[in-house]
Chain A
Amino acid sequence: MSGGAAVWTVVVPWLLLTWVFLWVSGRRGWWGCFVCGAVAAAVVMFPWLGHPLPFWTRALMANFSVPLAGVLVIAVAGRVSGKSLFTSADWNAAWIFGAAGAVALYPSALGLGPRNLDAYALGWPWLFWGQSFVLFAGVAVVAAFLLWRCNRFGILLLLALLGYSVGFQESENLWDYVLDPVFAAAAIAGVLRLGFRGLFLRNRGEAPRQKRLS
């Protein structure tokens, strides 16, 4: 495991724990973020059964996606400043991208779906070079479209693509830079929430409104 990958597998769990502690405690502002961040750092570095937390989490999760890290930074920053860097449209883009990616990727990776559909293999450009154009161009076009529309989730996708070019993760597969199971689960929950909210508002005869999330 390279140094960059090792640091990444420490930083992302720390961000995740910081956000969880902020959310559970209801704290906001710089002081709250500092306290929760410090507690999260202590939890991450504490020698659980003789080893720090990343030693255990890496066993199952050594490739956290860039969008997951990005939305955690946005969420923590929102708690600190009281204003979200993401509009509801940005969040919607994140959840829809993550949910669509999860539907395209995970059933195939479990051996389900059409026999010849191997979505994950497209993430190695040197394996099925011609077919992998669909994935690389697809992510690039989605990122470009979002950036053109001033959707800030596009920045996270751009960072994921740049990260893949640098190759800082343990994985050499593009999918692992743009999607992971944690982000996928959050995205599916986010899309379901969007769907329920739309259904609820339609039943009440109201149109869904664009709303800033804090």
Chain B
Amino acid sequence: MNAPETVVRSRRPGIVRMVLAGLALAAGLAPWWSAREEGWRAFPGFDVAPAVEDVVDELPIFETIEINPGSPEAKAHSATLARMPDGRLVAAWYAGSGEGHTDVGIFTSVRDPRGAWSEPRRILSREMMFGSLGRYALSLGNPLLLPGEGGKLGLLFVSIAAGRWSGSSLNLAWSEDGGETWGPVEKLTTNPLFNLAALPRNPPARLDGGGWAVPVYEELVGNFPEILWLLPRNGGFSAAVSRMAGGLEVMQPALVPLSVQDAAAFYRDVTKTRRMFMARSEDSGRAWSRPEPTELPNFHSGVCVVRLPDGRLLCAFNDTTKRVRENLRLAISGDEGRTWRRIATLAEEKEQEFSYPYMLVGDDGWVRMVYSSRKNRICYVEFNSEWLNSMADAAQRKGEVP
């Protein structure tokens, strides 16, 4: 009689163990398996228009204006721009008494189709975030606008938990009415170490089938670039990041889709090379080549690169290898960023700062741009392809920057 009892006693734990082990395997593999369809669609390619030979405008046009003249804030920086389907432009930037200060807020201004910019409006402060996120934020910074379908507009920005930029993490809010009102703020988890320290800077790339690839960068121990993938999922967007390069070399990527599969990235240098860096991807941003220095100078300053409708690349950058940002120039490349030719100076003044250019290119060939000027001004610039071509021709004739 003892033998069967012994068997029963020894089998019961065995069955429990087997069930638990099987449950663990199922619990681990089920979410992975259920993500297979999304996984196959994860890198759908970039939504990029094919190059067009000639976009004709009648006259060269170049205009510039300050969006926030008379701004009382001592610091206004890191501007972003989005073009809405109705033709309006929305600009956003952060401003306050200084970087990382508690009074910093996110401001927006809207340009109507007639060309007038509205009075800047504070749309977000750290106190406004407290309720949405249920947590403390020391300061805000680096907004980035994500234009969606039907007037929907996303606002990606950082909140600083402690310290300076290395204490920042990403947040996302949506507006259904083109930036007039904003929904609750959502925290994005992009790093396992206290969710530090991702920041956006340069324009996002639209993905085929919806969603965005947003170039971001980490600034905690290493400085390295990443892509924030905002992918349509479960009726909303899921955020995930993938690395573009290792630490301690480059940051603030400018992502330039060249075709559905091909893309180039241009980086702010954090080494002693003092050159703008560049990398390539041939699989829709999944893997990137090692960053290599280009011929354009860079001393720890942000660059912006966009693809023009004719396939050339346009770069806005601080043309110096010194620790100053006293000029802002444009350069153009006809070979996907391998070589560059300077074509125009947008701003230049001793002991002043012109930085953080952010450009958009319309289907009409117009380039629209915002940048930080003199520490607390946001400048808007727009020019057409005729102006760009005339400057390029002049630069080629004279052999110098106009």
Report the minimal beta-carbon distance from A10 to chain B, rounded to whole angstroms: 10
Of chain A, the residue at the smallest CB distance from B225 is A111
| B32 near A132: Cβ-Cβ < 8 Å | yes
Q: A90: CB under 8 A from chain B?
A: no
| A115 near B245: Cβ-Cβ < 8 Å | yes
Q: B229: CB under 8 A from chain A?
A: yes
Q: A140: CB under 8 A from chain B?
A: yes
Contact with A along B19-40 (1 / 0, CB 8 A): 0111111111111100110111
Please measure, in the bound complex, the distance between the C-alpha atom of A62 and the C-alpha atom of B191, giving whole angstroms.
12
Of chain A, the residue at the smallest CB distance from B21 is A144
Q: A59: CB under 8 A from chain B?
A: yes
| A111 near B222: Cβ-Cβ < 8 Å | yes
**Known pairs A59-B162, A113-B246, A172-B238; A165 contacts B221 (CB<8 A):** no
Selected contact of A109 from candidates B24, B39, B191, CB within 8 Å? B191
Q: B115: CB under 8 A from chain A?
A: no
Contact with A along B172-213 (1 / 0, CB 8 A): 000000000000000101011111100000000000000000
| A140 near B27: Cβ-Cβ < 8 Å | yes
Report the minimal beta-carbon distance from A150 to chain B, rounded to whole angstroms: 7
> Which B residues are CB-close (under 8 A) to A55?
130, 134-136
Please measure, in the bound complex, the distance between the C-alpha atom of A58 and the C-alpha atom of B224, giving whole angstroms.
25
Of chain B, the residue at the smallest CB distance from A118 is B243
> Which A residues are CB-close (under 8 A) to B133?
1, 58
| A126 near B39: Cβ-Cβ < 8 Å | yes
Of chain A, the residue at the smallest CB distance from B18 is A148
Of chain A, the residue at the smallest CB distance from B32 is A136
The contact size tier of chain A is: 35 or more
**Known pairs A126-B233, A137-B28, A140-B25; A60 contacts B242 (CB<8 A):** no
- CB pairs A–B below 8 angstroms (30 shown): A1-B134, A54-B135, A56-B135, A58-B136, A59-B162, A60-B162, A60-B194, A62-B135, A62-B189, A109-B192, A110-B222, A111-B218, A111-B247, A120-B192, A124-B240, A126-B35, A127-B231, A130-B39, A141-B25, A143-B24, A144-B21, A144-B25, A148-B17, A148-B18, A150-B17, A154-B20, A158-B20, A158-B27, A172-B189, A181-B192
Binding site for A on B (CB under 8 A): 13, 17-18, 20-32, 35-36, 38-40, 42, 130, 133-137, 161-162, 187, 189, 191-196, 218, 220-224, 229, 231, 233, 238-243, 245-248, 286-287, 290
Given contacts A55-B135, A110-B247, A136-B28, 5 further A-B contacts (CB under 8 A): A58-B135, A129-B38, A140-B27, A140-B29, A158-B24
Binding site for B on A (CB under 8 A): 1, 6, 51, 54-56, 58-63, 105-106, 109-116, 118, 120-121, 124-130, 132-133, 136-137, 139-141, 143-145, 147-148, 150, 154-155, 157-158, 161-162, 164-165, 170-176, 179-181
